[in-house]
């Protein structure tokens, strides 16, 4: 069974710092990996989608990398801002059969201090 782990569970840093969120998955048979942002009491906002054949994707201050063979992805946030405070979720779409859906990690709760 595919399992997704996110480290750290919580992170608090001063504004302006660059930071890295980590995601690992147990089975490298994936179609893609998606990073989401979730604000308190809100839905999920898609940040970046990396297909299994890709190594990284960039959007503004965000950069996500994927190393399928080692089962790892990182989300790099440059020059963090208080508005980046949210929970960040990593999810993989497994290609090894079974239900067609995303397997999620439990998230990293990020606080950017002004």
Partner 1 sequence: NAGVTQTPKFQVLKTGQSMTLQCAQDMNHEYMSWYRQDPGMGLRLIHYSVGAGITDQGEVPNGYNVSRSTTEDFPLRLLSAAPSQTSVYFCASSYGRKPYEQYFGPGTRLTVT
We find the least distance from the C-beta atom of residue 91 to partner 1, in angstroms, to be 8
Positions 43 through 102 that interact with partner 1 (CB under 8 A): 43-46, 49, 51, 89, 91, 93, 95, 99-102
Give dist(CA 68, CA 12) in Å, integer. 28
Phi, psi at 65, each rounded to 5°: -115, 155
CB-CB contact of 88 with 95 (8 Å): no
Residue 4 burial by Cβ neighbours in a 10 Å radius (0-12, 13-18, 19+): buried
DSSP secondary-structure letter at 41? T
We find the least distance from the C-beta atom of residue 74 to partner 1, in angstroms, to be 19
We find the least distance from the C-beta atom of residue 98 to partner 1, in angstroms, to be 9
Residue 106 binds partner 1, judged by CB under 8 A: yes
We find the least distance from the C-beta atom of residue 101 to partner 1, in angstroms, to be 4
Q: Segment contacting partner 1 (CB under 8 A): 21-29, 32-40, 62-70, 75-83?
A: 32-40
What are the beta bridge partners of residue 55? none
Residue 110 burial by Cβ neighbours in a 10 Å radius (0-12, 13-18, 19+): buried
Q: How many residues bind partner 1 (CB under 8 A)?
A: 25
- Judged by CB under 8 A, the residue of 36, 66, 75, 77 near partner 1 is 36
Residue numbers of the site for partner 1 (CB under 8 A)? Answer: 4, 31-32, 34, 36, 41-46, 49, 51, 89, 91, 93, 95, 99-102, 104-107
């Amino acid at each position: 069974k595919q399992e997704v782990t996110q480290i750290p569970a919580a992170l608090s840093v001063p504004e302006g710092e660059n930071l890295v969120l980590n995601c690992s998955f147990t089975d490298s048979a994936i179609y893609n990996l998606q990073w989401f942002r979730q604000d308190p009491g809100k839905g999920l906002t898609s940040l970046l989608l990396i297909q299994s054949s890709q190594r990284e994707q960039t959007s503004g201050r965000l950069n996500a990398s994927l190393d399928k063979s080692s089962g790892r992805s990182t989300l790099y946030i440059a020059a963090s801002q208080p508005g980046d405070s949210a929970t960040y979720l990593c999810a993989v779409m497994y290609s090894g059969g079974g239900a067609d859906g995303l397997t999620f990690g439990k998230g990293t709760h990020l606080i950017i201090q002004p």
